[in-house]
Amino acid sequence: MTTGVRRRMGVEERRQQLIGVALELFSRRSPDEVSIDEIASAAGISRPLVYHYFPGKLSLYEAALKRASDDLAARFVEPHEGPLGARLLRVMRRFFDFVDEHGPGFSALMRGGPAVGSSTTNALIDSVRQAAYVQILSHLGVTDPPARLELVVRSWISLAESTALIWLDGRRIPRAELEVQLVHDFAALTAVSAAQDAEMGALMRRIAQEEPADGPFARLAGRLPALAT
Amino acid sequence: MTTGVRRRMGVEERRQQLIGVALELFSRRSPDEVSIDEIASAAGISRPLVYHYFPGKLSLYEAALKRASDDLAARFVEPHEGPLGARLLRVMRRFFDFVDEHGPGFSALMRGGPAVGSSTTNALIDSVRQAAYVQILSHLGVTDPPARLELVVRSWISLAESTALIWLDGRRIPRAELEVQLVHDFAALTAVSAAQDAEMGALMRRIAQEEPADGPFARLAGRLPALAT
């Protein structure tokens, strides 16, 4: 389009632009504090035109959340190659990249944002948690998880969320340290469960045997005995 | 009152009765599914009279949540006597008692219940988390927690919540096992943080030195080496 006249966007193109503008604003301030006027202004269109594409702020917020959810779920995908600890560490780096990029929006959402309680919002949050859960099971090579493994994986996912939220509140600990910590936490929670249950014990030993001596799991195991002295 | 005529309750007494009736119903079915009609019927009064004491279902729900929050926070209080692991285990038992008693109401609240997003509800949830946090710091004898300790304690509280929620969904693991597991998880998450940070390492050693050989912390430490073989 080189006519010198600003071309008119198609409906879908305009919707995608508005979603992008909204996400950019939500990455800097809480969605509660961002008005439709601001979104319109940042997109270079009028407020009524925004309502033409999205009937209300909630529908724009949900569309933005859908794009962010798809983005986050895509970052969980990791090739099935190399040691598990190193794979999990790469995913944790991409998770913190996402949290870093979307700080205020992520905090507001997880702490009870403008659309919490909306079934669409809850379903999107659950779908991202489920994507993480499915990825982890596939990397563990487990198709029919026992209840204790499901508990460890799902509760660790919740631990990763709360760790990221606490990190965002002041960023007082370097994120690289927390990325490693969460990988170690996964091993530690698995070990705790394995100490009580033979099936989890067998899984734990299988994971440990495949880990190299310089991987994150092995480095944790090497450091723990020193704590007892 | 032995006059044979049912005496009329005072305003505050009636409010407390309605809160008790609502909590009892929420302990068996999700608050979403409990109608004001049912609450009125269970309390033996008319629906309009319920609205006389509470302007709407949300205000009754919030009052019920306030009583449940106070109840839960009170269960966190534990004498400062004896080994830390045993104290934490007793608190975990009372926490699971509460979760057991209030199953559907607890699940609905934590998964996004009827009043999620209400500032009153969020403030009550936060106040219970804060009560747990303050209790744990006081038992650790720490008044000015470093950022890493705050992270471990707060993220462990979130882990306890998610563990309870997953347990409620089918109760496929004996709760006594999960009570011990959460005590072990606390030690494990502290150990992971201690493996990266000297200040956390010193705290970890101080805790470990005060634990008896038959306490829950020591039993975990004794079992872990077997997992590596």
DSSP B185-208: HHHHHHHHHHTT-HHHHHHHHHHH
pLDDT over 50 at B119, yes or no: yes
Q: Looking at the 3D structure of chain A, how many domains does it have?
A: 1
Q: Is residue B16 part of a domain?
A: no
Query: Domain containing B156: what range?
Result: 65-227
Q: B198-210 and A216-227 helices cross at what angle (nearest 10)? A: 50
> CA nearest B219: which of A220, A152, A192?
A192
Q: How confident is the model at residue B214 (pLDDT cuts 50, 70, 90)?
A: confident
Q: Compute the distance between CA of residue A219 and CA of residue A213 in angstroms, rounded to an integer.
A: 7
- Tokens 């100490």 belong to residue: A195
Answer left, alpha or beta for residue A133, where phi above 0 means left and psi between -120 and 50 means alpha.
alpha
Q: Is residue A124 part of a domain?
A: yes
Three-state secondary-structure class, residue A45? coil
Flag whether residue A129 sits within 8 Å of chain B, measured between CB atoms. no
Contacts of A220 in chain B (CB under 8 A): 192, 195
Q: Is residue A171 part of a domain?
A: yes
Q: Does A158 sit within 8 Å of B162, measured CB to CB? A: yes
- pLDDT at residue A225 in the model: 61
Chains A, B: CB contacts within 8 A come to 119
Flag whether residue A150 sits within 8 Å of chain B, measured between CB atoms. yes
Q: Is residue A14 part of a domain?
A: no
Flag whether residue B61 sits within 8 Å of chain A, measured between CB atoms. no
CATH number of the structural domain spanning residue B151: 1.10.357.10
To probe the interface with B, which of A92, A172, A181, A205 has the most B CB atoms within 10 Å?
A181
C-alpha distances in Å from residue A100, one per residue of A49, A107, A165: 31, 11, 10
The DSSP code sequence of B53-103 is: HSSSHHHHHHHHHHHHHHHHHHHT---S-S-HHHHHHHHHHHHHHHHHHTH
DSSP state of A143: S
Q: Is residue B130 part of a domain?
A: yes
C-alpha distances in Å from residue B123, one per residue of A188, B64, B69, B73, B117: 32, 14, 10, 14, 10
Tens digits of pLDDT across chain A (229 residues): 444 456 778 899 999 999 999 999 999 999 989 999 999 999 999 999 999 999 989 999 999 999 999 999 999 999 999 999 999 999 999 999 999 999 999 998 887 655 555 778 888 999 999 999 999 999 999 999 999 999 999 999 999 999 999 999 999 999 999 999 999 999 999 999 998 899 999 998 888 888 888 888 777 777 666 655 4
C-alpha distances in Å from residue B132, one per residue of A189, A192, B127, B153: 21, 22, 9, 9
Q: Is residue A27 part of a domain?
A: no
